[in-house]
Amino acid sequence: MKSKKQLEVALSKLTNIKSPKVDLEQYITPSDIASEVLWLAYMNNEIKNRVIADLGCGNGILGIGALLLGAKKVFFIDSDRNSLLIAKSNLANLNLKNAALSNINIPEYKEKVDLVIQNPPFGVQNTHSDRNFLIKAMENSNKVYSFHKLESENFIKALSRDYNFRIKSILKFKFPLKKTQEFHAKKVHYVDVGCFILEKWVRNL
């Protein structure tokens, strides 16, 4: 990938989950938002030749973007088997190698990585359902890029402190949640979302 735009175009062509599950809060990560975050990580030298985990990978958009930007290896983790099948198909269509797919619950994931990049549930159906994702990410990497509702900032700050992490910065977006369920009133509902960039806090002695 030679540019952020080229990455966005490639990600926009991925197959998406056809029947999102309400309890898992499955929704599409827009290709423009995914490419912006991934490109920043790439420019910060956090992707090329790095080992990365995409927790709750869905159709694989974040992990696939990382591979397109030269990641050494990406772990695709999801508790939903159908999501992993779609991610596997997207990987095959792009002829991408160095991917490991695991159909497990997030707390079961064990591999240490250089970077975790994830878009977990926002906690609409189950309050703080993103907590397990954050804990696992901070246990398995010193650097985390994680999407959450902006209103969760205080919760994320407190949890990060418990695990000796800090919020380095927040990329703010109007995240479009498209109508995928009968109870959704609008065709598109916009949510204030941040990609929280977390890093291990090294205190000076």
Q: Does residue 140 lie in a domain region?
A: yes
Checking if the pLDDT of 184 tops 50, the result is no
Query: 165 has which bridge partners?
Result: 200
Q: Does residue 178 lie in a domain region?
A: yes
Average pLDDT of the chain to the nearest whole number: 89
pLDDT band (50, 70, 90) for residue 204: low
pLDDT band (50, 70, 90) for residue 5: very high
Q: What is the mean pLDDT of residues 98-108?
A: 95
Checking if the pLDDT of 186 tops 70, the result is no
Q: Indicate the burial class of 19 (C-beta count within 10 angstroms; 0-12, 13-18, 19 or more).
A: exposed
**Angstrom distances, CA of residue 52 to CA of 88, 96, 185:** 16, 14, 37
Q: Does residue 163 lie in a domain region?
A: yes
Q: Does residue 18 lie in a domain region?
A: no
pLDDT, greater one: 88 or 27: 88
Do β-strands 99-102 and 115-118 pair in parallel, antiparallel, or remain unpaired? unpaired
Q: Does residue 121 lie in a domain region?
A: yes
Q: Find out whether 175 and 25 touch, Cβ atoms under 8 Å.
A: no
pLDDT digits (tens, 9 = 90+) for 24-83: 455 788 999 999 999 999 999 999 999 999 999 999 999 999 999 999 999 999 989 998
Percentage of the chain exceeding pLDDT 70: 86
Question: What is the domain extent for residue 179?
Answer: 4-12+24-200
How many independent structural domains does the chain possess? 1
Alpha-carbon distance of 192 to 178, in angstroms, equals: 14
**In the chain, which residue ranges form alpha helices assigned H by DSSP?**
4-12, 31-43, 61-68, 81-93, 131-140, 153-162
| CATH number of 120's domain | 3.40.50.150
pLDDT digits (tens, 9 = 90+) for 112-136: 999 999 999 865 555 667 899 999 9
Q: Which amino acid is at 26?
A: Q
Q: Does residue 40 lie in a domain region?
A: yes
Q: Does residue 17 lie in a domain region?
A: no
CA angle 93, 94, 97 (to 5 degrees): 110
Order across the sheet with 165-178: list the strands: 99-102, 73-77, 51-55, 115-118, 143-149, 188-200, 165-178
- Token code pair at residue 62: 């974040």
Q: What is the mean pLDDT of residues 154-164?
A: 96
Q: Does residue 19 lie in a domain region?
A: no
pLDDT digits (tens, 9 = 90+) for 187-201: 777 889 999 999 998
Please report the pLDDT score of residue 189 as a whole number: 77
Checking if the pLDDT of 140 tops 50, the result is yes
Percentage of the chain exceeding pLDDT 90: 75
